[in-house]
């Protein structure tokens, strides 16, 4: 697994806010999915990095459930009971200071970007307030990473072509539809279109056409109350 210092350039600390605002001991942020390779963006301490690396290497652990379900995975006493979904990971962390783990998916509209993995050295639930705070921080982290990704790698190979495509009426119409579906601002709705194009190796025009034709929807997931994956018609 790679480490991506370029994604947190400028002195930004993506793990810090979780430590400041939540009753936890450590945090790690990993980026993956779509056209992006697995990348450790930040880890607050060696154990946070180790927990992330173990799950990546073993292919099991709470982070994978969070990715699959796009929902938080909250384990108030991770050492107490062996979980049938990650028995090897459970044995690997036995004896470490990780007493509780809370994993939140990083998603923006149609994109699954990665996860934020939190641990506490004391067993106990995160609580409703803590869950709401962590979910809000994860949402902010997701948008930050998405903007960084699109800054580093544009979804279209030719900047001149992209500019021409973005001036066309279809792009603006599709942006308006995404705005209505997702509740995002106009700028962020265009960012969602670009993100989908980047993740699926499409041009912005192809993505806009799919939205206008109803083949892609950025409407919120009614079960989770926030934007979910693309709804393909």
Structure confidence by residue, pLDDT tens digits, 39-98 = 888 999 999 999 998 888 788 899 999 999 999 999 999 998 778 889 989 999 998 999
Average pLDDT, the chain: 81
Query: Percentage of residues in the chain with pLDDT exceeding 90?
Result: 40
Query: Predicted confidence band at 7 (pLDDT cuts at 50, 70, 90)?
Result: low
Q: What dotted CATH number matches 2-152?
A: 3.30.450.40
Average pLDDT estimate for 97-121: 92
Please state the three-class secondary structure of the chain as a single string. Answer: CEECHHHHCCCCCCCHHHHHHCCCCEEEEEEEECCEEEEEEEECCHHHHHHHHHHHHHCCCHHHHHHHHCCCEEECCCCCCCCCCCHHHHHHHCCCCCCEEEEEEEEECCEEEEEEEEEECCCCCCHHHHHHHHHHHHHHHHHHHHHHHHHHCCCCCCHHHHHHHHCCHHHHHHHHHHHHHHCCCHHHHHHHHHHHHHHCCCCHHHHHHHHHCCCCCCCEECCCCEECCCCCC
| pTM, entire model | 0.69
Instruction: Specify the CATH class of 159-227 in words.
Output: mainly alpha
**Could you state, in order of their start, the residue ranges of all structural domains in the chain?**
2-152, 159-227
Query: Predicted confidence band at 149 (pLDDT cuts at 50, 70, 90)?
Result: confident
């Amino acid at each position: 697994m790679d480490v991506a210092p370029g994604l947190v350039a400028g002195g930004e600390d993506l793990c810090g806010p979780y430590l400041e605002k939540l009753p936890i001991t450590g945090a790690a942020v990993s980026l993956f999915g779509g056209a992006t390779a697995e990348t450790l963006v930040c880890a607050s301490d060696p154990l946070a990095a180790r927990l992330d690396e173990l799950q990546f290497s073993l292919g099991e652990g709470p982070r994978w459930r969070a990715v699959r379900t796009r929902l938080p995975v909250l384990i108030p006493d991770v050492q107490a009971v062996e979980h049938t979904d990650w028995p090897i990971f459970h044995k690997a962390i036995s004896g470490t200071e990780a007493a509780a783990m809370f994993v939140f998916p990083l998603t923006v509209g149609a994109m699954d970007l990665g996860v934020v993995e939190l641990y506490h050295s004391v067993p106990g639930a995160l609580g409703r307030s803590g869950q709401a705070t962590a979910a809000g921080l994860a949402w902010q982290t997701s948008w930050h990473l998405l903007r960084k990704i699109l800054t580093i790698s544009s979804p279209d190979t030719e900047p001149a072509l992209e500019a021409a495509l973005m001036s066309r009426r279809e792009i603006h119409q599709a942006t308006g539809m995404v705005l209505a579906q997702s509740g995002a601002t106009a700028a962020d709705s265009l960012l969602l279109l670009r993100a989908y194009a980047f993740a699926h190796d499409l041009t912005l025009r192809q993505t806009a056409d799919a939205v206008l034709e109803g083949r892609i929807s950025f409407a919120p997931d009614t079960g989770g109350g926030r934007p979910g994956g693309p709804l393909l018609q």
